[in-house]
Structure 1
Amino acid sequence: MATVAPRPESDFSTPGHALPDQTQTQTQTEGEYKQNLNQRLRCPDCNEDPPNLVEEFSSGDMVCGSCGLVLGDRIIDTRSEWRTFANDDQGNDDPSRVGDAMNPLLNGSQLETNIGFGEGMRARELHRAQNRVTNDKATKTLLAAYREITQLCDAIHIPKATQDSAKHIFKMTEDKKVFKGKPQEAVIAGCIFIACRQSKAPRTFREIYSLTRVSKKEIGRTFKTLEKMLQTSRDENVTGSFLMVENYEATGTTGAAELCARYCNNLQFKNPHLMEKISKVLAEKSSSLKDLAGRSPLSIAAASIYMASHLMGDPKTSRDIAAVAGVSDGTIRTAYRHMYPSRKELIEKEWVYPIGAGRMDNLPTN
C-alpha cells in the first residue's frame, strides 16, 4: 500500500513560525489512513524538544527562552483580572486598576477623586467630610428610589431592562420637578406601570396596586401625567439612556391578548407555547363579540385560556385560572358562557384537524 512521506523540516524552518511535530504519523482508523494534524510550537533555531517557551504578556509575544526568537505575537493574557475590594479594604492596599463605571442614572460627573479611609482620626474625618459633600441629598433620594424600584420589580419578576426604564423615568420626573409634593410611592408605581407598557410586558392596575398598595385611581392619575411629560420630551427631541424617549409611543388600554402569555406560563401547561398561541387568537376574536363588549380584558383573557385548555385536552379549572388572573371564578364562567355559542366562529379548523389534536366535544357547556 502506498504511503505519504512526511515533509522535510527545512520546509517549515522559517523564523517566527511554528513547526509541526516531527512525529507526524499515519494512524489507521477503521481501515483508513489519516494524517496526524496535531501541531506543537517549537523554535526552528534551537529545535529543542520539549520547547522552552516563555509568554510575555506585557508585550503580547511568545518568545523562545533559549535564544530569544519571537515565535508568535498577539498572545491573549488568560490570567485573572484584579478585582475591586475598595469597600472592604482598611489597609490602603487596593489592587484595583480603575474606579467604578459611570452611572447614567445619577447626577454629576462621578469622576472626582475619592479620599481613602486611612489610619488616624484626621484621615477618617477627612474621608467622612468628603462623603458628606459628595453624597448630596438629591443623590440619596435617587438611590433610595432606585432600591425600592428594584425590590418591587424583583417581587413580580420584571426584567432588568424594564427596571432601568422605570428608574430613568423617575430621574426625569426628579429633574423636571413634575411631582413636587406628591408621595414617592405613587410616582414609583406610575413609573413601573408605564415602563412595563413600553417594554411590551404590560401589568394591570390591579397588579400594580397589589404590589405597591397605591390606589388604582392614584396610579391612573400619575400615569396620565407621566405620559404627557414623555410626549413633551419626545417632541423636544430629548434622548434617554434606557427608554429612548424620542421613540416613545402612547399606549392604549392593555388588551386581553397581551395578558394571555403570562397567564399561560404560570398555569404550567404541557405545551404552554401552543396554549399561548390559541388563547391569543381566541382573545382577539372574542373582543369583537357584542356580548363581551365592555368587559374587562382580564375576564376575556381568562375565559379564552379556559376554552383553549379544554379544547386541546389539557383542561384547567376556572378556579386555577382565577387564582392566576386575579378575577373571580364566576366572572370567568360568565364570560365563557358568552363565548360558547360562537365557538364555531372563534375556533379555527387547523386546531381541530387532524384527528388527535383539539376536539370540539371537549368544551364544557358552562
Structure 2
Amino acid sequence: MSMAAATSYSDAFIAAQQSASDNAATDAAQNGLKEEQWQQNLNEILQCPDCREFPPNLIEEFSSGDMVCASCGLVLGDRIIDTRSEWRTFANDDQNNDDPSRVGDSVNPLLNGSQLETNIAFEGRDARELQRLQSKAAKKNDKDSKQSNTALLAAYREISNFCDAMNISKTTQDAAKHIFKMTDDAKYFKGKSSEVIIAGCIFIACRQSNAPRTFREIFALTKVPKKEIGRTFKMLEKFLQDDKNKTFVRPINDGGAPPTLSATNATELCARYCSGLRFRNNHLMARISSELCEKSSSVKDLAGRSPLSVAAACIYMISHLMGEGKSSKQIASVAGVSDGTIKTAYRFLYQARDSLIDEEWLTKGGRLDRLLVN
C-alpha cells in the first residue's frame, strides 16, 4: 500500500471518529435536555421570604384556599386544593351499631323529619313514571313532617323579612325562629294567627339578645296591635321560664345564663336614636346620651315615664349641650313620641342640670349656655 493511500485512510478514519463523537455528544445533550425537562427536583422547599425559618412553619388554610406562614401571616400560595375527606359519620344516629358514611348538607334543627330527600329530574319518558312514584312514596311516608316543614319555612321567611327591614342581626333572627319552633312543637298557641306569634317571637328575641325593640316599632313593622303583642309576650315569657324549656337559653347566651326579659330601658335606645339623627360625631353623642340616661334615674319627676320619652329628652339636651342641636320635632320623628312629651321630660332634666351634667362633657366641647330654657 502506498504512502498516499495510507494517509487518506487515516484521515478518513479520524474524520469518522470525530463525526461519531459529535453525534454521541449531540444525542447526550438531547437526552440531558429531556431528562432535565421531566425531572422533578425534590430538594425545592417552600420557604417564607420574610421569616426564612427552617423548617418552614406553613399552614394550609383550606377554608380560604391559601398557604400561609404561621409566623408572620404572609400568604405564599393561593388556590390550595382541599384533599381532606368529605365524608360525614353517622355512627351515633343509626341503629345496629353500624357506621355508614354519607355526604350532604347538615341537618337543620329548625325543621322536622330526617331532611334526607331525593328528587328525580324530569328527563326522558321513563323519568315521568319514576318521578310520580317517588312523589307518591314521599307523600305517604312524610306527609305530616312535610306539611309542618312547609308552614315552618313560610314563618321563617316572614321572620327573616321583618328582621331585615329593621336591621336585626342574624343571631337574633335565629333566636326568633327557634322560639317559634318551640311554640309550634308544643302547640302552645292554639287559635292564634302566625303573624301574632311571629311578632311576639321577634320582640322577645330582641330582648334576649340585648337589642330591644319597643311595642310601637314591632307594630309599625308587623301591623299587629300593641295590646296583642303585649299579651303574646307575656305568654311567651311564661312559656320560656318553664323548667322543661330552659334548655333554649344556652344557644343564645354562651354562658347559659337565664334570658334577659327585663323591660326596655332608655339607655339601650340612645344608640339607635342617635344613629337615626345623623350627628357629626355619632359615637360621642350616643355615649354621652346613654350616660345621661343612667343619671336621670335619680330625677324623681321622671319616674314612671316611658323610656322612649326619657331617651329622646336626654338626646335633646345633649345635642344642644354639645353644639349639634336638634329640634324636638326631629327627635320625635325618630323616637316615635310627640315633641310635647320630649319638652316636658326635658324640663325636669333642665331643672336638675347641675347634678346631671358631668364636667368631662364640658371638656369635650359642651357648654351650659347652649341649653334651651324650657
Question: TM-score scaled to structure 2, two decimals?
Answer: 0.69
Structure 1 residue 295: Cα displacement? 1.1
> Is 1:337 aligned to residue 337 of structure 2?
no
CA distance 1:20–1:284, change in 2 (3 Å): closer
**Partner amino acid, structure 2, of 1:219:** I
**How do residues 144-183 of structure 1 correspond to structure 2 at under 5 angstroms?**
144-183=154-193
1:117 to 118, 121, 125: 121
Are the equivalent residues in 1 in contact too, given 2:270–2:286 (CA < 8 A)? yes
Q: Which runs of 5+ in 1 are unaligned?
A: 1-14, 22-35, 40-74, 82-96
**How do residues 1-366 of structure 1 correspond to structure 2 at under 5 angstroms?**
16-18=42-44, 78=80, 98-110=103-115, 112-119=116-123, 120=125, 121-130=128-137, 132-133=139-140, 134=142, 136-233=146-243, 238-239=247-248, 242-243=251-252, 247-353=257-363, 357-366=365-374
Structure 1 residue 77: Cα displacement? 5.8
Structure 1 residue 342: Cα displacement? 0.8
CA distance 1:100–1:38, change in 2 (3 Å): closer
CA distance 1:177–1:357, change in 2 (3 Å): same
Are the equivalent residues in 2 in contact too, given 1:117–1:123 (CA < 8 A)? no
Percent identical pairs in the alignment equals: 54
**Partner amino acid, structure 2, of 1:17:** N
Question: TM-score scaled to structure 1, two decimals?
Answer: 0.71
Higher percent of residues as helix: 2
CA distance 1:108–1:19, change in 2 (3 Å): closer
CA distance 1:266–1:237, change in 2 (3 Å): closer
Structure 1 residue 250: Cα displacement? 4.5
Structure 1 residue 217: Cα displacement? 1.3
Are the equivalent residues in 2 in contact too, given 1:104–1:241 (CA < 8 A)? no
Instruction: Say how many residue pairs are matched.
Output: 285
CA distance 1:76–1:101, change in 2 (3 Å): farther
Structure 1 residue 184: Cα displacement? 1.2
Structure with max Cα Rg? 2
Partner deviation per Cα, 1:29-54 (whole Å, 9 max, x = no partner): xxxxxxx9899xxxxxxxxxxxxxxx
**Partner amino acid, structure 1, of 2:114:** S
Separation (CA, whole Å) in 1 of partners of 2:249 and 2:304: 37
Are the equivalent residues in 1 in contact too, given 2:316–2:328 (CA < 8 A)? yes
CA distance 1:117–1:198, change in 2 (3 Å): same
Separation (CA, whole Å) in 1 of partners of 2:133 and 2:205: 41
RMSD: 2.9
Structure 1 residue 113: Cα displacement? 4.5
Q: Which runs of 5+ in 2 are unaligned?
A: 1-40, 53-76, 84-101
